[in-house]
Structure 1
Amino acid sequence: MTPQPGRPGEPDGDPVVHVVDDDDDLRQSLRFLFGSVGIQALDYPDAPSFLAEFDPAEPAVVVVDVRMPGMSGFQLQEELLAREYPAPVVFCSAHGDIPMSVRALRGGAVDFLEKPYDTQRILEVVQHQQGRARELFAAHAARAAVRERLEGLTPREREVLALVIQGMASQAVAHRLGTSVKTVDVHRARIKAKTGAESLGTLVRDILTHQVEV
């Protein structure tokens, strides 16, 4: 990876751009292009290098070549999906075709660009995706925070919470679980205390808003 000045997440808040491509000249030209408009770019000669060095918590856009020795761009995309990495992924290829672009987009890529690049086009795409990256990483962090709040719940408390999310009152929950209303209310109180929620209503709202599984 070529060292770059500064680090992502500095005061300007602009997401970094990760360029993953085995073509040295192309990576250099993209660094120059992005740098000319104030976009910080970090580059990697292959997918394993990127996976070993990138910071998954820092907002970013990934520009990746489809065909690379070893791990392909598609395999990298699958790995990032498995890690729930929220960065927008832009695929590039000198040998692109419709099936290849369809595969990339179905896998979650936001665009598929052909080489040689139309410089204005790639700048427009990346700058637009930087805005999306801020939103995606913020949502990802919020979802992770809700999951963390739920980590201390017992299986029984999760059962109760899942039924509360369905809109059931304590009496209905007690009937469904074959227990007493008093026991259900004890579970509700513990859920509230363990998650630090102002109320179960606000906790349910956070769970539904960020689409967290209980």
Structure 2
Amino acid sequence: MTPVLPDPVVHVVDDDVDLRQSLVFLLESVGVQALTYPDARTFLAEFDRDEPAVVIVDVRMPVVSGFELQDRLIELGYPAPLVFCSAHGDIPMSVRALTRGAVDFLEKPYQPQRMVELVQAQLVQARLRFAEHARRRAVNERLETLTQREREVLQLVVDGLPSQVIAHRLGTSVKTVDVHRARIKSKTGADSLGTLVRDILTCGITV
């Protein structure tokens, strides 16, 4: 089931107050909600990790740079598309940003229409990314209810093995394996083990 998520917002992280205000005005003129932060620390303290979003960040900021913020968001597993916007960009900087997962690197002053088109495209991607992130988290939360033995059985089910083979692999009886299968289905709230296996494979999760 696809999670129901709110419309994405845009987070603007930049120590230039004039740029923040002008970017908010530009985005709101096309119906996009934008939130602003004067530095990376403020953003990290205030942003909602679960709210779909696009992040626009300057490279050179005091205390915590845009690149350091990018690294922190990667550590958090935050799925928002990240756009860098800098007046001091060069090729090595843009390569560094893009190879670490940023979706674009714009030079200031940016072309307003280019920014609008980029943000609108990434808002679509944000919806997809956060929906997938929510699905993965939901499946992982269901798997956390299982014991180690139940996880072992489930992994063999994911591998496509029948109860008889699983019992042989684990040195137990088929009846015991079937009990584990029933408990896995009950604990995870799955309609069937087949649907649970499908969710695990679709999300690329390791049991």
Name the TM-score class by shorter chain.
over 0.9
Of 103, 116, 123, which aligns to 2:116? Answer: 123
Identity across matched positions, percent = 73
Mapped to 2, the partners of 1:41 and 1:76 lie a distance apart of: 18
Q: Which residue of 2 aligns with 1:103?
A: 96
**Aligned pairs (5 A) from 1:52-63:** 52-63=45-56
CA distance in 2, matches of 1:205, 1:14: 27
CA drift at 1:70? 0.9
1:73 maps to what in 2? 66
CA distance in 1, matches of 2:76, 2:51: 14
Q: CA deviation at 1:207?
A: 0.8
- TM-score, normalization: structure 2? 0.94
Q: In structure 1, the residue corresponding to 2:36 is in which secondary structure?
A: strand
Separation (CA, whole Å) in 1 of partners of 2:85 and 2:168: 57
Aligned residue in 2 for 1:193: 186
Paired position in structure 1 for 2:131: 138
TM-score of the aligned structures, taking structure 1 as reference length: 0.91
Q: Which residue of 2 aligns with 1:203?
A: 196
**Number of paired residues?**
203
- Where relative contact order (Cα < 8 A, 6+ residues apart) is larger, the structure is 2
Q: Alignment partner for residue 83 of structure 1, among 57, 76, 83?
A: 76
> Could you say which residue in structure 2 is the equivalent of 1:28?
21
Alpha-carbon distance, 1:213 to partner = 2.2
Aligned to 1:17: 10
**C-alpha offsets along residues 131-178 of structure 1, whole Å, 9 cap, x if unaligned?**
111111111111111111111100111111111111111111112222
Query: Partner amino acid for 1:63?
Result: I
Q: Of 135, 147, 150, which residue of structure 2 is paired with 1:157?
A: 150
1:180 matched to 2:173? The reply is: yes
List runs of 5+ in structure 1 lacking aligned partners: 1-10
Matched letter for residue 185 of structure 1: D
Structure 1 runs of 4+ with >6 Å offset: none
Structure 2 unaligned blocks of 5 or more? none
Partners of 1:105 and 1:160 in 2: CA distance: 40
After superposition, give the CA deviation of every residue in 1:171-209 in whole Å (9 maximum; x if it has no partner): 111122222222111111110110111111110001111
Give the distance between the partners of 1:85 and 1:213, measured in 2 at CA: 19
Aligned to 1:166: 159
